[in-house]
Amino acid sequence: MTIDPSSGPDTEATSSETSSGVAVLDRAFALLGAFQPTDERLTLTELSRRTGLYKSTVLRLLGALEHGGFIRKLDDGQYAIGPQPMRLAAIYQRSFRVDSIIEPLLAELSEKLGETTSFYVRAGGRRLVVSRVEPARAVRVSIRVGEDFEVGKGASGKVLMAFTDTHPNGEEVRARLWATSYGERDPETAAASVPVFGALGELKGALTVSGPLSRLGEPLAMRTAVVALLEMARRATAEFGGNVSRYAIAAQANTEHIGVRV
C-alpha cells in the first residue's frame, strides 16, 4: 500500500514512536523495497511517491543507506541499489548450499529437459528465486535470481505451501511429492515442482521446471519433467543428508496422474 505524503504530516516528525530505531529501520527497508526487479535507478521524487515519505525524510535515509553501501547515488542524481545487498545475497545463497548442491542439478536438469529450471524458497507470503538455469533456446521462460512471486500461485508455490502449512489443500501434494501449474502466474507458462528436504526432514525449497505452455503443457512433456524432478530432488535431498525413501515411493505411485492438469 502506498501512502500519500500530502494526506498528512510525516509521522516521523510528529510521533515519538516513529522516531525510534525500529521505525527508522522500517523506513529504510521500505526504501530498499521500493526498487522492483526491473528498476535500475529511481529518482528522489519516485522514491518519495512509492514509500509515502516526505522527500526530506527520504533524503536523510538515503544518505545513511549510501554510507552503508546499500544505495548508490548516480551522477545524474538518481539512486540505485548498492553492492552490500549482493554480499548479503551471496551469504543467503550459501546458507542453502545452492552453489554446491542445487546449481549443478539445475544445470543438468535444464540440459536434459531443455527448459528453465529454478529453486525457490518461501519468504512469508512470497516465493523467492534463489537459483536458476535457462536453456539455450529462443523461446523459454525467463526468471531472474532474486525475483519473488505470490506464494499462492504456481507449482513451486503449491509445494512450498504444502510443506510449510498444514492446510488440507496441501494434503494431495504432500502425499505425491509433486505439483503442476498451467498458466497460473503467467497465462503462457506451465511448470512442475517437487520438494527438497534436509537432514531433519525440513523443507529446503522447491525444485522447479518451467516452460512455454504450448510445450511443457503437453501431458508427455509434463510427465517427463515430473519424473526427472523427482530424481533430481532425491539426489539433492541425499546431499543434504535427508531421507530419500519417499522419492522412490512417489516415483512408483500415481504416475498415471502426471500430466493431468492438477
Q: What is the pLDDT of residues 101-146, one digit of tens each?
A: 899 999 999 999 999 999 999 988 899 988 889 887 766 677 778 7
Residues of CATH 3.30.450.40 domain(s) within the chain?
Answer: 89-257
**Cell matching residue 41:** 535507478
Write the pLDDT tens digit of every residue in 20-74.
678 899 999 999 999 987 899 999 999 999 999 999 999 999 999 999 999 999 9
Checking if the pLDDT of 261 tops 60, the result is: no
CB 164, CB 157: distance < 8 Å = no
| Burial bucket for residue 20 (CB in 10 Å: 0-12, 13-18, 19+) | exposed
The architecture that CATH gives domain 89-257 is 2-Layer Sandwich (3.30)
Checking if the pLDDT of 246 tops 60, the result is: yes
CA 61: distance to chain centroid?
27
The architecture that CATH gives domain 15-82 is Orthogonal Bundle (1.10)
Write the pLDDT tens digit of every residue in 59-111.
999 999 999 999 999 999 999 999 898 888 777 766 666 778 899 999 999 99
Checking if the pLDDT of 17 tops 70, the result is: no
Residues of CATH 1.10.10.10 domain(s) within the chain?
Answer: 15-82
The model's confidence at residue 2, banded by pLDDT at 50, 70 and 90, is: very low
